[in-house]
Structure 1
Amino acid sequence: MLPIPASRPNAYTGSPLDRVSHLRDDEAFVTAALARPDALVVPVWRAKSLLRGVESGAPEAVLLTRGAAEAVLMAGGPWAMLGLREDGTPVFAVDASAAEDPLPLLPDGFGTFHDLRTVAGLLPPGEASMLAHARGLMHWRVRHRFCGVCGSACAPRSAGNAARCTACGTDHFPRTDPAVIMLVVRHAPGGDRCLLGHNARFPNVTMYSTLAGFVEPGESLEEAVRREVREETGVLVGDVTYHSSQPWPFPSSIMLGFHGEALSEEIVVDPGELRDARWFTRDEIRNHASAGFSLPRVDSIARRLIEDWLENAA
């Protein structure tokens, strides 16, 4: 199976920040950066991002200046350094989830908090990437306050990008769970068809999407693709080709996208995973609305895998 190239970058990629990992342990540098009046702060409240223009259909990220973010920072929630912009401006993330209502902590008219996934496809790539970075890192900071080895409290280090147990000294780092996501294609004389499934957990009751699943310990990515497809649909997969990846901090995954070549056609759905699975032609995918089903959201790698297959009919 020939690789199908990615037509453009995926959502949540293309960060404009230099993460300056080599400077995170320089306390003098971090302290000075946080004190700079031109420092920018990305607030996160209960996994939501600060945005404006959502109601008008033209959303944009709200990054607070150091002065505007004073009340948020003084609220005492976790914070972390995200990196430096190209002009050297430092950017930090801070979590305000302890506040029942975060808006009084902000200057009037600075926006409201929204689920990033509802607008990511409308945001400039750099903004979506920064907000996703902040969301994922703050989720880890809020959820990882205690050591998984001995249960004692952890203290932040590396400008909030790591933590160390205050008792046993174990270092902890943000976890990113690898997940494979794949569009399986069946080559046939009458035309190629792709395999899509409907999961009962999908918020959209008409949506059919690519199959996906987490990589297990001791498993290669290609093995994970074949295992997940066989478990969920009974379809056997041969060649597996890489397409692209996408950060998916909802809450802490990296989606690794593939196209797979089906070696069998019969579908046996695992009801614990899927409600339905079907083979679809390109024409059916292109006319999905009239056929009575919908496709994944435009900011997802699932949609990109489908669209790039559509455009590579050869």
Structure 2
Amino acid sequence: MLSIPASRPNAYSGSPLDRASNRREDAAFIEAALADAETLFVPVWRSRSLMKGVPEGAPEAVLLTGAAAEAVRMAGGPWAFLGFWEGRPVFAVDCSQAEDPLPLLPEGMGAFTDLRAVAGLLPPGEASVLAHARGLMHWRTRHRFCGVCGAGCEPRSAGNAMACTNCGTQHFPRTDPAVIMLVVREGRCLLGHSTRFPNSVMYSTLAGFVEPGETLEEAVRREVKEEAGIDVGEVLYHSSQPWPFPASIMLGFHAEGLSDEITIDPEELRDARWFTVEQMRNPEAHGFALPRGDSIARRLIEDWLAEAGPAGTRR
């Protein structure tokens, strides 16, 4: 089985930020940065990001400064220091408590948009920063209470940690590791049609969360066996992708299929099939669709196809 390197960075990767974690405990710096008119703020409203140019198909992130930033902060939601972008401090701020935050901003500032809908069109650095802000604000708005004793928590480390006001336990943002794998065998690849997309014709790579005490390779083999009944041999790492929808890191692999007969888990999949290279290169003609372009699933498929011969003979 050939190793297939990643052909290019995945969406939401390649952050331009210096996270400057050493400045998070510097209260004087944080206070000054929050008051600085040149500081950048990344607003998040109900998991959506502020952008302009979306209707024209040329989206770009809108970061706030000065009075516009202060107006959004007055909505009373959580905030957090993200780092420096070209020397300027950057904060995420959640304004979800406002029923409509746009009236708080000057006209022409764009609209709040689902990041996943346009990530493939955004400059890579902007997509990464918006994903960072979205993921961190999701954690902040959903971890207000201590998981140990149930008491309320207060932000620490410039919004990058929470501390229990009763027992003192510190809580940090969680990222759930998930494996995602393209299983290949004799010039074919295995794709599944998820129960989560009943009205779609999309077939995608299999995926699942890593369980406690499990290596990534073991997780790949277990998930493929559980979902499709296929035995897996060699497992080769491809690349990773931040996936803050809501709080995951996708760890991508190519995996060697050792068996042919598919037995699906009906709770996870509506269908699973082996697809030839020809079918994969012309999915519409064969009645199915591939995963969206900003996903690591699509990257795993594209890089495999790039390495495959005309009939998939190389793999």
TM-score, length basis structure 2: 0.97
Q: How does 1:1-314 map to 2 (within 5 A)?
A: 1-86=1-86, 88-187=87-186, 192-202=187-197, 205-313=200-308, 314=314
Q: Report the 3-state secondary structure (helix = DSSP H, G, I; strand = E; otherwise coil) of the residue aligned with 1:202.
A: coil
Map Cα deviations across residues 157-194 of structure 1 (whole Å, 9 max, x no partner): 1110001111110000000000000000002xxxx000
Q: Distance in 1 between matches of 2:7 and 2:197?
A: 26
Q: Distance in 1 between matches of 2:3 and 2:81?
A: 37
Q: Distance in 2 between matches of 1:70 and 1:203?
A: 43
Q: Which amino acid aligns with 1:45?
A: W
How large is the RMSD of aligned CA atoms in angstroms? 0.9
Q: Residues 311 and 205 of structure 1: is their aligned pair in 2 closer, same or farther, counting only changes over 3 Å?
A: same
Q: Which runs of 5+ in 1 are unaligned?
A: none
Q: Distance in 2 between matches of 1:110 and 1:203?
A: 36
Q: Distance in 2 between matches of 1:282 and 1:26?
A: 55
Identity among equivalent positions (%) equals 75
> Per-residue deviation at 1:204?
5.5
Q: Which runs of 5+ in 2 are unaligned?
A: 309-313
> Per-residue deviation at 1:203?
6.6
Map Cα deviations across residues 6-53 of structure 1 (whole Å, 9 max, x no partner): 000000001110000111011111111111110011000000000111
> Per-residue deviation at 1:66?
2.7
Q: Is 2:195–2:267's contact at 8 Å kept on the other side of the alignment?
A: no
Q: Report the 3-state secondary structure (helix = DSSP H, G, I; strand = E; otherwise coil) of the residue aligned with 2:133.
A: helix
> Per-residue deviation at 1:76?
1.1
Q: Report the 3-state secondary structure (helix = DSSP H, G, I; strand = E; otherwise coil) of the residue aligned with 1:110.
A: coil
Q: Is 1:41–1:66's contact at 8 Å kept on the other side of the alignment?
A: no
Q: Report the 3-state secondary structure (helix = DSSP H, G, I; strand = E; otherwise coil) of the residue aligned with 1:311.
A: helix
Q: Which amino acid aligns with 1:36?
A: D
How many pairs does the alignment contain? 309
TM-score, length basis structure 1: 0.97
Q: Which amino acid aligns with 2:230?
A: V
> Per-residue deviation at 1:69?
1.1
Q: Report the 3-state secondary structure (helix = DSSP H, G, I; strand = E; otherwise coil) of the residue aligned with 1:18.
A: coil
Q: Distance in 2 between matches of 1:17 and 1:204?
A: 39
Map Cα deviations across residues 189-248 of structure 1 (whole Å, 9 max, x no partner): xxx000000012127511000000000000000000000000000000000000000000
